[in-house]
Copies of this chain bind each other. A is one copy, B any other.
């Protein structure tokens, strides 16, 4: 019998997990590597940041996902680089050899020209990020209580930079906290002094969605008390004053940076494999340019087609579809059959701004409001990994819904920005 093909997958996000599940036991031994021992459900990260959900509702141990998969093993490790000639991955726990390597390392925050001040900004890519934001918001609420009237606005104000899904969802969630939770838990605070400003460089919010979704999103945010600035480009931030290119300024201790992401490729593939957005250039089979045994899927993979000259959008469904497709193609390869070209089927996008306020774009149908919100909830709860997570998340939401409350706001590890 032919020995099984050893597939090493770097990254346990939506792409990596789906691929490992789909690779045939008969032909493949799979090793999945991640720096964390859990998979997390990125689309709900903003709920953790605002205290609506706890980390364990959106995270699930990787080992437990693969308990019943005898051909899949896991190692918690940082990848240093890859050596494609000797087919080895160099990691923090030693060298690991592969027959086929799949890079599914996802994306990271893109600070563009603000890289040097990133430690002054809050971002929302990982669970520790989310817990830092949560601690920071609640610490500032406590802090405002013992500062003078003049200092309070800067402590309470929140700026969100970027009007994509992450920015819009954070702005909505914080606005709901201001409206429903803070007055009850901090009756001594005057929430009038708390301004929530959202800055978008383009001329509309949620620019990957329909015009209809954009304008409803704007309306919902305004109803919730968020001040939205369109065509507003940030110029700089000194830790207390956010300045815009048009000369305006906003005093705030809290700047949430959701203005962009870029690919998080691994070292060793060579500069000429990279394209705009720091993504790894792949062909229609998700094969990395010049590296026959290396594939890339998900956010890190830049798959250029005629319709998508800058690569497919960085979305969970793209990663999952590419993963399923690649599992088939790798099997085809083993069996000596030709590989098939990938094509993305857009099943729609959605985002939630607040209670009963969501926007849904389906390929043939667009809708907003209460029903959109229910659809959003159902889709997200059903997508959570693990029955227990679904159930707990459902309970948390039911309880939020009935009480208008955020469950908690425990400052378990205090968070300080650098130089604070």
Residues of A within 8 A of B (CB): 36-38, 54-56, 59-61, 63-64, 67, 73, 75-76, 93-94, 127-128, 131, 138-139, 142, 145-146, 184-186, 188, 388, 391-392, 395, 399, 407-413
Q: Are A127 and B56 in contact (CB under 8 A)?
A: no
Residue of chain B at shortest CB distance from A70: B187
* Residue of B with least CB distance to A410: B38
CA of A145 to CA of B76, assembled, Å: 10
Residue from A56, A75, A128 with most neighbouring chain B CB atoms (10 Å): A56
Chain B residues with CB below 8 A from A94, complex form: 146
A-B contact pairs, 12 of them (CB 8 A): A37-B138, A38-B408, A38-B410, A38-B411, A61-B408, A63-B185, A64-B185, A76-B139, A76-B411, A94-B146, A392-B392, A392-B395
CB distance from A353 to the nearest CB of B (A): 25
Closest CB-CB distance, A337 to chain B, in whole Å? 33
Q: CA–CA, A392 to B93, complex, Å?
A: 37
Task: Identify A54's interface contact among B54, B75, B184, B185, CB under 8 A.
Answer: B54
Q: Which residues of B contact A55 (CB under 8 A)?
A: 410, 412
Contact B54 A188 (CB under 8 A): no
**B residues less than 8 Å from A61 (CB atoms):** 185, 408-410
Chain B residues near A407 (CB, 8 Å)? 56, 388
Given the complex of chains A and B, what is the CA–CA distance between A59 and B410 in angstroms?
Answer: 8
Contacts A37-B142, A411-B38; A186 near B73 (Cβ below 8 A): no
Contact yes or no, B37 A127, CB < 8 A: no
Q: How far is the CB of A4 from chain B (nearest CB, A)?
A: 17
Q: Identify the closest chain B residue to A391 (Cβ).
A: B395
Q: Give the complex CA separation of A67 and B128 in angstroms.
A: 29
Identify the interface centre among A60, A73, A411: most chain B CB within 10 Å of its CB. Answer: A411
Q: A37-B411, A38-B410, A391-B395 are in contact. List 11 more A-B contacts (CB 8 A).
A: A36-B410, A37-B142, A37-B409, A37-B410, A54-B54, A56-B408, A56-B410, A61-B409, A392-B392, A392-B395, A413-B413
Task: Say how far A126's CB is from chain B's closest CB, in angstroms.
Answer: 9
Question: Which residues from B are CB-within-8-Å of A392?
Answer: 392, 395
Given A142-B75, A145-B75, A146-B75, A411 contacting B36 (CB threshold 8 A): yes
How far does the Cβ of A188 sit from chain B's closest Cβ, in whole Å?
7
Chain B positions within 8 Å of A409 at CB level? 37, 61
Docked-complex contact A142 and B56, CB < 8 angstroms: no
A56 CA to B409 CA in the complex, in Å? 9
* A60, A146, A413: residue with the most chain B Cβ atoms closer than 10 Å: A146
What CA separation (Å) do A127 and B408 show in the bound complex? 15
A55 to B407, CA, bound (A): 13
Task: Kindly list chain B residues whose C-beta atoms are within 8 Å of the C-beta of A185.
Answer: 61, 63-64, 67
A412 to B61, CA, bound (A): 11
Task: Give CA–CA (A234, B388) in the complex, Å.
Answer: 42
Q: How far is the CB of A137 from chain B (nearest CB, A)?
A: 12
- Complex: how many Å from CA A145 to CA B127? 25
Chain B positions within 8 Å of A75 at CB level: 142, 145-146
Residue in B139, B186, B412 whose CB lies within 8 Å of A63: B186
B residues in contact with A138, CB < 8 Å = 37
Which residues of B are found within 8 Å of A59, using beta-carbon distances? 408, 410, 412
Given A67-B184, A94-B146, A185-B67; A412-B76 close (CB under 8 Å):
no
Asked if residues A127 and B412 are in contact (CB atoms below 8 Å), the reply is: yes
Separation of A38 and B410 alpha carbons in the complex (Å): 6
* Across-interface contacts of A38 in B (CB, < 8 A): 408, 410-412
Contact check, A93 vs B408: say whether CB atoms are below 8 A apart: no
> Most chain-B CB neighbours within 10 Å: which of A64, A67, A73?
A64
Minimum C-beta distance from A223 to chain B (A): 26
CB < 8 Å: which of B67, B139, B142, B412 contacts A131?
B412
Contact A76 B142 (CB under 8 A): yes
Contact A188 B73 (CB under 8 A): yes
